[in-house]
Structure 1
Amino acid sequence: MDRTDHAEIPAPEPQEQVVYGRNAVIELLQSKPESVEKIYLQFNTTHPKLKEIIITARRLKIPCGKARMEKLTLIAGTAKNQGVCALLTSVTFYTLDEVLAAPRNSSPLLVVLQGLEDPHNVGAIIRTAEAVAADAVIMIDGKGAPISATVHKASAGALSHMRVCKVKSVVKTLDLLRERGFSVVAADMEAEHNHTDFDWTRPTVLVMGAEGSGLGSETRKRCDQIVRIPMAGCVESLNVSVAAGVMLYEAMRQRLG
């Protein structure tokens, strides 16, 4: 848990929602963890429920910061905050049905993030997806980095315009999308075909695997094609957000062409 100085803690904007109190924050983490942007707790935490909040937040990869009681009182609007406040994200999550019912393109383009851990990568991919007018970015509930202040910043404002979905299962989601006529494509440096050989003009799902571990085996089975990005230098692979950008811009090039 990072130490947050008194001056660095932002007072919540009027439109921001704050949940305070030990039981209320625990319930929030159990029921809607994706809605939590950051948690602030008092210094020198010894209460068992506050320790439970810290452990749960770490498991869910929700950032935490320490704050003095007077700052928690300012954030919560009351001194009866029990030493903990949770700031809620302003992101509205869409269902997959909502996205499919109102596509942005005549030939929809979706991006699936399979458990990316780095919020900078998540934000960068959302930024690129918005730049190429993709229909939505799909994230797996409970897997990878949550939508946080870091994701907001890395997206450079794109998060306010891009539809983001949360789904329970990547496998079931890909099965559904294939039934709806989508082609599923992913990248692997050992693939036979280049990413430019793929027909990006048809309804497409681009799946980006997690940093390090890559695609899951069941996800790979559901890909209609695995492509590679040609590399001429000494490095063997690209950062996942860069790789997503290369492929998404190839999709836009083909579609505009």
Structure 2
Amino acid sequence: MTPQRFEKIQQVLDRRQPDLTVITDQVNKGQNLSAIIRTCDAVGIHRVHAIYDAGNFRPHTGTAMGSQKWVKTEVHRKITTPVEQLQRQGFQVLAAHFEEGAMDYRDVDYTRPTALLLGAEKRGVSAQALDRVDGCVVVPMMGMSESFNVSVACAIILAEAQRQRQVAGLYRQRHLPDEEYRQLLFEWCQPVIARFCRVRGLAYPELDDTGHMRDPQQFSSLTRCS
């Protein structure tokens, strides 16, 4: 762990936006999923929700370029689970879907807690999801194609969300709760030790101001006893 790496990790965590997320509604192509995750990481999203009937999630690691390590993915079997959960938390859930009354994606206030819902490659957003969302957004099309690829649409819309949040100063202060911040800081700085602790049910040891364990000898004695 170099000082530069530790500083980069802290900067990224300081800019994470816990009140901005994405829900993928049966998006099943690995390259699309991974491109979406990569975009989420780029704009400061640290948790996404993926809907699969079978409960499987397999990102394409080449497209994700490692970003799947920095963005947590919660997999659900029913679309109602994350939509209703996020709405109870005060999120506006907006589907990227063309219908009468859909808003231009640039006319949305993304400084509010927002979840962007993206539909499957061929079928689009499910009827079950549309019954529950708070609105729909569209990216205007100027050609013969009726829509962008789902991962491209995600990038376009989230770029606008990032722009608005940057103008509003939402990247200038940390928003992650302290406990979650400390957990992620340790997992990103010491992934091997973090995995060891999770397997054995051990609490993460304290880090010093360089990203290393403050008392490695004490930790070693705990592992011998576990």
Give the TM bin, normalised by the shorter chain. Answer: 0.5 to 0.7
2: CA distance, partners of 1:117 / 1:232: 27
Which residues of structure 1 form unaligned runs of 5+?
A: 1-101
What is the alpha-carbon root mean square deviation over aligned residues? 2.2
**Whose strand fraction is larger, Structure 1's or Structure 2's?**
1
Question: Which structure has the larger Rg?
Answer: 1
Contact 2:105 2:139 (8 Å CA) reproduced: yes
- 1:79-228 correspondence runs (5 A): 105=16, 108-143=19-54, 146-148=57-59, 151-192=60-101, 193-228=103-138
Q: Does 1:245 find its partner at 2:155?
A: yes
How many residues end up aligned between the 2 structures? 154
SS in 1 for 2:38: helix
- 1:39-58 correspondence runs (5 A): none
In the superposition, the TM-score normalised over structure 2's length comes to 0.63
By relative contact order (CA 8 Å, sep 6+), the higher-ranking structure is 2
Rate the CA distance shift 1:178–1:104 in 2: closer, same or farther, 3 A.
farther
1: CA distance, partners of 2:165 / 2:144: 31
Rate the CA distance shift 1:144–1:172 in 2: closer, same or farther, 3 A.
closer
2: CA distance, partners of 1:134 / 1:242: 16
Contact 2:24 2:120 (8 Å CA) reproduced: yes
Rate the CA distance shift 1:190–1:137 in 2: closer, same or farther, 3 A.
same
Deviation for aligned residue 1:194: 0.1
Contact 2:55 2:75 (8 Å CA) reproduced: no
Which residues of structure 2 form unaligned runs of 5+?
A: 1-12, 168-226
Contact 1:115 1:144 (8 Å CA) reproduced: no
In the superposition, the TM-score normalised over structure 1's length comes to 0.56
Contact 2:38 2:64 (8 Å CA) reproduced: yes
